[in-house]
Chain A
Amino acid sequence: MANQGLLGSTIARKFAMALSALFLIVFLLQHMSINMLSVFSADTFNEVSHFMGTFWLVQYVMQPILIFGVLLHFILGFILEYKNWSSRKVKYANYKGSANASWMSRNMIYTGAVILLFLGLHFYDFWIPEIAHKFVEGKDSFIENGVADSGYRFYHELRHKFDGDIVRMILYVVSFIFLGLHLNHGFESAFQSMGARSKKYTPIIKKLGTAYSILIPLGFIVIAVYHYVTQL
């Protein structure tokens, strides 16, 4: 029987989901770590953000990979969900999903959809203005040294977005809770999809996944709440 080719089979698609998930997991760790600097030092946060915003490897290699990873992850996620949905068109009259699987594992499509909606808001808030600033308006962040519109404008921008805007703060916090729920299953699931499972390492991966799914969203929540509360 012929091979189904790239992404043709169930397992290949799951592998692609897992690979993009692990990339996004690493990305979230660095994103949270850098953002956390804003709580402790505005200058350090600006310095690091400036570095990330101008270093060619991040801008022209990692950023396109990240965009591709995000697109692949959610498009493939919806394709997989549609296939799964169509594999059982007549539903059970009585189905007790909670008897044998966690809520997180059964609702990845919904937690993922909330995160996707949040990405829309997040891009509107930070990424689109940043791209417009650099690539549309063509402002060179190395030359300008003003406050709000310079290469070191990042801290000001972050503070400005959470200045008295309780709705934005709540939307961010709720989204991060959904991110935690998504990661709680996604972390260990990614390893399983790649076939990485053993009696020795799987319990460690599970604990690491639980810790990661709590600490990373909690870090983001602390950042959002800190910048809102300190401007009241």
Chain B
Amino acid sequence: MKLLLKIWRQNGPQDKGKMVDYNVDGIEGDMSFLEMMDVLNSQLIEKGDEPVIFDHDCREGICGSCSMFINGEAHGPGRNVTTCQLHMRSFKDGETIFIEPWRAEAFPVIKDLMVDRSAFDRIIQAGGYVSVNTSGNTQDANSLPIPKEDADLAFDAATCIGCGACVATCKNASAMLFTSAKISQLSLLPQGQVEAKERVINMVNQMDLEGFGNCTNTGACEVECPKGISLDNIARMNREYLSATAKGKK
């Protein structure tokens, strides 16, 4: 398979950056997208050129590191897959593929396709935790009765890997799907109830401070999310935020 790749190259955060064309040959349909990038980088290194920098780690769809905007979509044309799970058989021989970094003011480009997603870490730090006693006398979580439906919903929300595809694909660069998943996974469980109101206000406020856009309910995030996180979480977060605000929580 021969491909023409149009890849965003940017030397550093301050560099202006530009799209650069690369031709790659010998790509197999069974290769993952990242393996195709590895082939390209090997060719670049052999020629003495700078390889394309991109984030990757587990290469099995659970770490949330890989983050490429491929042919106009976050993680490319596949559904419920990360870039590392996208296979080259999804593309045709001779195809032109656009590869860009996540675009958002809150996700500044570090180099090439690598962006700084620490804004997500700061949202978590603002309240995405439960304060439990870890002194050794911690109550067994299984001793707390939790309705099956709530446990399932919390688990679904907890499958968010924080890759940022929701932000990247949203026309407004909104982080509501991520933030709402991280709020829901805790607020649906009894352990998360104690700090639920402070949590939702603090995490939403941090999300706004980071410079993410407003949600306009296009639903693009849900479609592109590799873990299929539902818009139900955003509605839950809206309810919780409005309720906490009405009760004057600070």
Contacts and interface: CB of A to CB of B under 8 A. Distances in A.
A92 B238 contact: no
**How extensive is the interface on chain B, given as a class?**
35 or more
Given A100-B220, A108-B216, A11 B237 contact: yes
B232 A3 contact: no
Contacts of A12: 241-242, 245
A41 interface: no
A59 interface: no
A9 B204 contact: yes
B217 A185 contact: yes
Contacts of B71: 94, 96
Contacts of B234: 192
B31 to A, nearest CB: 22
Interface string B213-228: 1111111100110000
Contact of A195 (B100, B207, B235): B235
Nearest to A1: B202
A92 B206 CA distance: 25
A167 to B, nearest CB: 33
Contacts of B237: 11, 195
Interface string B146-175: 000000000000000000000001011110
A101 B219 contact: yes
A84 B220 CA distance: 15
B112 interface: no
A23 B130 CA distance: 39
Given A84-B171, A197-B235, A4 B208 contact: yes
Given A1-B126, A83-B213, A192-B235, A9 B205 contact: yes
Interface in A70-114: 80, 83-84, 86-97, 99-102, 105-106, 108
A84 B238 contact: no
Determine the main DSSP class of B at the interface with A: mixed
B73 A196 contact: no
Contact of B242 (A11, A84, A91, A106): A11
A90 B105 CA distance: 8
From B211, B216, B236, name the one whose CB has the most chain A CB atoms within 10 angstroms: B216
Given A1-B206, A87-B105, A89-B105, A105 B72 contact: no
B242 A15 contact: yes
Contacts of A189: 216-217
From A13, A80, A100, A185, name the one whose CB has the most chain B CB atoms within 10 angstroms: A100
From B171, B201, B223, name the one whose CB has the most chain A CB atoms within 10 angstroms: B171
A122 B215 CA distance: 31
A213 to B, nearest CB: 15
From B208, B214, B234, B239, name the one whose CB has the most chain A CB atoms within 10 angstroms: B214
Interface of A: 1-4, 9-15, 80, 83-84, 86-97, 99-102, 105-106, 108, 185, 188-189, 192-197
Interface of B: 6, 8, 19, 69, 71-73, 77, 98, 100, 103-106, 126, 169, 171-174, 176, 201-202, 204-208, 211-220, 223-224, 231-232, 234-242, 245, 248-250
Given A9-B245, A192-B231, 7 more contacts: A4-B208, A10-B214, A84-B174, A94-B6, A97-B72, A105-B216, A195-B237
Q: Nearest 3 A-B pairs (CB), nearest first?
A: A96-B72, A195-B239, A87-B213
